[in-house]
Every structure is written in C-alpha cells, then in structure tokens.
Amino acid sequence: MSSQTPNTNKPTPPPNQPPTPGGNKPFKFNMGWIYMLILFMLAAIYFNREPETQSREISWSEFKTYSERDVFSKWLVNKEGSVIKATVKPEFAEEIMKADSAANKQVFKQNVETTILVEISNPDAARIYADELEKNGIKPDVKFGKGNSTFWNIIWQFGPFLLLIFVWIYIIRRMGGGNPFGVGKTKAQLYDKTGKSQKVTFQDVAGLSEAKQEVEEIVDFLKNPKKYTELGAKIPKGALLVGPPGTGKTLLAKAVAGEADVPFFSLSGSDFVEMFVGVGASRVRDLFRQAKEKAPCIVFIDEIDAVGRARGRNPGMGANDERENTLNQLLTEMDGFGSNSGVIILAATNRVDILDKALLRAGRFDRQINVDLPELPDRKEIFVVHLRNIKIDQSVDTEFLARQTPGFSGADIANVCNEAALIAARHDKENVQREDFMNAVDRIVGGLEKKSKVTTLEERRSIAIHEAGHATLSWMLEYANPLVKVTIVPRGKALGAAWYMPEERQITTRQQLEDEICATLGGRAAEELVIGCISTGAANDLERVTKQAYAMVLYYGMGREIPNLNYYDSSGQDYGFTKPYSDKTARLIDEEVKYIINNQYERAKQILSEHSSQHQQLADVLLDKEVIFSDDLEKIFGKRKWLSRSQEILKQQDLLNDENKDAEEKSD
C-alpha cells in the first residue's frame, strides 16, 4: 500500500531575486497614502497651534521694576534684539494684567499663560541687563531667538495648498491614464500593425458565417479601397454588431483587427463616461482626431449602449446630460468624417433596442450585423475550435456535443470545454472523455451536484414522483421538448431536475406552447394525483408557466376573448406607470391566463391518470437509480410516437441525400 505525504517543500525564490522577509513588492502610491498625508497635516496643525495666552505691552522702565522683583520666569529675546517676550510667574499674573494703565481694559483670565512684551532700542540692552540682574542674584532664563526658519515658514504657509494640488493631480492622473492634463484624452487602446500582442484571425471565429462575410467585406474595403471607389461605391462608415452576450461579437472585431492589417483602436463605451462634464465629448473628439491621423484604420467601441442610449428618456433628471453630450459629439463626429476617409467604426451591443435612433440611421452605422446564438452546425464548429488545444478521447464526438448544447452561446461552449478538461484533470485522466463533457454541460445548466444535501425518504419519493410526472408528459405530448435525462440528485438550488433538448424552432404554434405548459405542470399534477397533497417543489415550474401564459395573451394575441392584440412595445419605450389597456381588459387578461393554466393542468392530470402505472414504474426506477435517460423511458413507455424537430430535420436531410443519390445513379 502506498501512502502519500503532503509536499512540504517551500518554494525557493528565483535566483535573481534575493529573498526578502516582507516580499519585495514595488512601492506603489495610492489613495491610502493621500489619507495618511492629510491626517499627518491635521495632526501637525493641531500640535503646533499656539496655546491660549494673555499678554500686555509694558515700557522698558516698568520691565526693569518688575524684573527686580523677580516676576518673570523666562525671557525670549527676538533675533533682532528689539523685543523681549517675558513669561510672568503665575502668582504675579493678576497684578501685572490689572496694572494696565488703560483702566483695566484687559480682562484677566485665571490659569492662562501671561506674557509681556517690551520694546528695546539697543540690541544688546537685554543681554547687559540680564547680566546685571544675575549679579544681584536674580537669574532669569534668557533665550535669544533664532527666528523662524524660512523653509518651515513656507511649508506652513503653502503646505495645505500644495497638498490640495497634489491630491488633485493624483485623482486626475488616475482618470487620465498618466497625464494630469489628459482627462479629455481618449482611453482607446491602439493595436498597430506592428503590435504582436494580438493576432486573432477569422479562423478563430467559428460559425457566424453571415456575420463573418459582412465583416470580411469591411476588411476588404480597407485593403483594396480602389476596387470599390472606382465603381463609385462609398466605403461604409460603421457596422454595428448586435446579439446576445457571449456570441462572439468582440471576438469578431478582434479578428477584423487581426486580418485587416490596419491600426485598430479598441475601447469600451464606458471609457467615455466620466464624472466631469465635458470629458466624454472631449474624449470622442480626441479619439476621432487620432483615428483620422492613422487612417485607414478601425475603431471598435464595445458595449456602445453605455453612451448610445436613447436621449431624453428621463426628462428632468440632469444626470443624463453628460452622457447625452457625449452621444451628441459621437453623432457629430460620425457625420463629420468623409465616407472615404478610411476610418471605419465597429461597435457591439446586446441592447440595440435602447440605442438612440440617430445612431442607427444609415450614414452612421450603415450596417447592422446580427450575431445570433449559434445553431447546431455553428455549435459544432465552435466545439472544433475550442477542442483544438484539449486532449480528447476518441469517444468525443463534436456532433453529439453540439446536440447536447442547444441555446448555448460561444462563450458557454468555451466554458464547457474548459470545465470538461478540469473535471478530467480532477479525476487524473489522461484525456478528456465524453462523460466529462456531459458532466460539464450538466454542471453549467443545473449547477453543482450536491450529493451531500440531506433528504428524507419521503422527500425523495415526492421528488421522484414530481420528476417522473414531467418525464411522462414530455414523452406523451407531441410538442413537448424531448427529454434527455431526469435526476433526483440535488443540483444547484433544485432538488431534482429533468433535462430537455429544447427545440430550436423558428416559429412556435399555440399548440406547441400549450404542450410545453402542460409538460411543465406535470410535476405538480403528479404530486396531487399520487401523493394527494401538493408541495412547494413546483414553485419554479409555476413561475415559468405563468410567464409563458401571460406572454401568450399579452404578446402573441392568443387570448380567446382578446385575440390578436399585442401589448408589447418593441421600441423599448416603456409605458411607465400607465398600462396600455383598461382595468376591464386587465381583468380579462388575468382570466385568460387562469383559463390557459387551469386547462393545461387538467389535461396534465388526465394524461397522468391514463398512464398512472407507467408513471409509478418510472418513479420507482428513478428512486432506485437516481438518474435515468431517455432509453429507460423507452423501455417503460415504448417508442415515442412523434419525432422531435431535429429528428425531423435529419430525416428530411436523409431523404434529400437519398434522392440526390438516386438522381446521380440514374444520370450515370
């Protein structure tokens, strides 16, 4: 038996770096230092403040009289020898203050240091008189002032002011990227032809064939402008990449940069936004000035919605002014450069609906390029790209993986590949296998498996009946999404889950929507029928169903009483607090939604009671195995009567191929 001992070797520092006890982090100035400096200044001012004193001026003869009575504890003679400031012993303070000839103008304060000031004409008088007194046995503590140092004088006078300037420069530098006078300068990063840091090519972008074609044309414009201008065509000014998050918009823009071989400015919409008024507009101006200098070139603005949001949405809320100024400047600049100047603006957003209409008009962004979620063939290609650097087992089939990941974006697929590799590494495998990919997909869709979550037998039975209800209905309903697997192992927040293969339909009919609602209600219906009492386990299903039913009535015009009406505004301008329908219609909408859901719930119960024994069988298998796949369902229910959409498409393709083969054979 072998035992493993933990590795206790400490990492040794690299040879050219002497080990330092505290690590040799480079000194970095930050806000913490500014706070320290301010605190230091305040403390210095506090401790250096003059204590409260009371003072009066007396003549030289008076001073001499008092001195002979040994009234003063110390003398301070100024540097020039023209003034003595003497501190009065506390027991004489009242007498001296009240002896003011100006009829007791001075108010005497107890327990406050008392001083007198004497002007002397001869600079040596103080010294001579002090010596004289010493001979008579009175020995005042005499100090001769050195005067204040000019350096400290300057520091005390200008210190706070200097500190303020220093703080200001520091803040501005942080915003302006180094130069205190560079706040209004663009933050765009420039990738020049010579730069090696970035080299994404179109080969790294899988799928997206239409989008790629459009941007390839832009690259071609920049490489051979003559070809187009000779025919009288104008080079487009800009293209807007629109699509859901993670679909590869940024990647596409980077590929344009890699392929075009022209300077590429890259920045994000939020880089224009700053708390100072006018900064955004000035950054836009600076960006276009630089771009024109470097033309032909490409400017890429990611997440353009940060500046391009429609103007005047929130009248009365002044906070938008700065953003609107920035947008106005952007609109002006995009109008300002000639279409043949060779500066092409690419921008990306996933909220095209909220962009200002002026930004979208032809002449600014001439083209809108849709970058949608990848369809099956595209997903396959994306898998191929991301599997390039992963050691995979022969069991891994990209076609299969693409089928398992409907609705996944390119970023999700990249994540699946990485997650699968991590899972394989965790199990010390030599290469990544098909099951690792399946686990990765499950993990991304359903969250982490929580086997440690404690459930009672009763709860597990309830979950099994619930999930078996979904599975039975999805098998029995023509348009329900085909089932892939069902589990009662808790994952993420869910206690059990059923995995479906969502149909990637282009249009959805009323019957399809109803079947989906019915299958989703299958869990709750099974609980009521079999256990006899319903549970909170269906909350998520009910939420989905309610949303779906409202969408049917409000957006798709599928209500019985209020058909063919749509209460959605696709321009993105919300109705605010007022609804576009009356209270009566609102009640009707609620009635319609209730009707749809109740109807489907009854239907679900009906189907389940018709197949109650099979449902029970399925629940038992599930309790036993914890995870079941569509093959297990087939064993219980027999072959599914209907083909799924993807099976239908495959069948059509096969038929087509057969026809083509026949035609070829005949022609031979």
- The contact set with ligand ATP (CB under 6 A) reads 205-208, 245-251, 348, 350, 382, 385, 410-411, 414
- Which C-beta is closer to ligand ATP: that of 248 or that of 496? 248
Q: Side chain identity at 9, as an amino acid letter?
A: N
- 457-476 and 510-526 are packed helices; what angle lies between their axes, rounded to 10 degrees? 160
Query: Which stretches of 250-342 are assigned E, i.e. beta strand?
Result: 264-268, 297-302
Q: Side chain identity at 474, as an amino acid letter?
A: S
CA distances from 442 to 249, 377, 418, 420, 499 (A): 26, 21, 14, 11, 9
* Under 8 Å between Cβ of 555 and 570: no
The string of DSSP codes covering 129-158 is HHHHHHHTT---EEEE-----HHHHHHHHH
- Which C-beta is closer to ligand ATP: that of 383 or that of 601? 383
- Which C-beta is closer to ligand ATP: that of 245 or that of 336? 245
* Under 8 Å between Cβ of 72 and 89: yes
Distance CA 83, CA 388 (A): 90
Angle at 608 between CA 607 and CA 613, to 5 degrees: 125
The tokens describing 88, both together, are 């009065």
- Which C-beta is closer to ligand ATP: that of 260 or that of 382? 382
Q: 96 burial class (0-12, 13-18, 19+ CB within 10 angstroms)?
A: buried
- Which C-beta is closer to ligand ATP: that of 78 or that of 350? 350
Q: Which of 303, 324, 333, 467 is catalytic?
A: 467
The helix (run of H) or strand (run of E) holding residue 286 is: helix 279-294
Report strand pairing: 83-88 vs 113-119: antiparallel
Distance CA 83, CA 65 (A): 17
Shortest reach from residue 394's CB to ligand ATP, in Å: 23
The tokens describing 488, both together, are 């009662």
Shortest reach from residue 242's CB to ligand ATP, in Å: 10
Distance CA 392, CA 442 (A): 19
Shortest reach from residue 493's CB to ligand ATP, in Å: 24
Shortest reach from residue 359's CB to ligand ATP, in Å: 17
Q: 611 burial class (0-12, 13-18, 19+ CB within 10 angstroms)?
A: middle
Shortest reach from residue 257's CB to ligand ATP, in Å: 13
**How is residue 395 annotated by DSSP?**
T
Shortest reach from residue 14's CB to ligand ATP, in Å: 32
Shortest reach from residue 404's CB to ligand ATP, in Å: 17
Distance CA 644, CA 479 (A): 8
- Which C-beta is closer to ligand ATP: that of 54 or that of 418? 418
Residues found in the chain: 668
Strands lying side by side in the sheet with 497-500: 497-500, 483-487, 627-629
337-369 residues labelled b (16+ CB within 10 A) or e (exposed): beeebbbbbbbbbbebeebbebbeeeebbbbeb
Q: Is 467 a catalytic residue?
A: yes
Angle at 278 between CA 276 and CA 279, to 5 degrees: 65
320-332 residues labelled b (16+ CB within 10 A) or e (exposed): bebbbbbbbbbbe
- Residue 245 makes CB contacts below 8 A (sequence gap 6+) with 350, 409, 411
Shortest reach from residue 304's CB to ligand ATP, in Å: 11
Shortest reach from residue 398's CB to ligand ATP, in Å: 13
- Which C-beta is closer to ligand ATP: that of 110 or that of 389? 389
- Residue 451 makes CB contacts below 8 A (sequence gap 6+) with 489, 490
Closest-CB residue for ligand ATP? Answer: 410
Strands lying side by side in the sheet with 367-370: 189-191, 264-268, 297-302, 343-349, 238-242, 367-370
Query: Which stretches of 303-394 are assigned E, i.e. beta strand?
Result: 343-349, 367-370
Shortest reach from residue 211's CB to ligand ATP, in Å: 9
- Which C-beta is closer to ligand ATP: that of 208 or that of 518? 208
Shortest reach from residue 203's CB to ligand ATP, in Å: 10
The catalytic site residues sit at 467
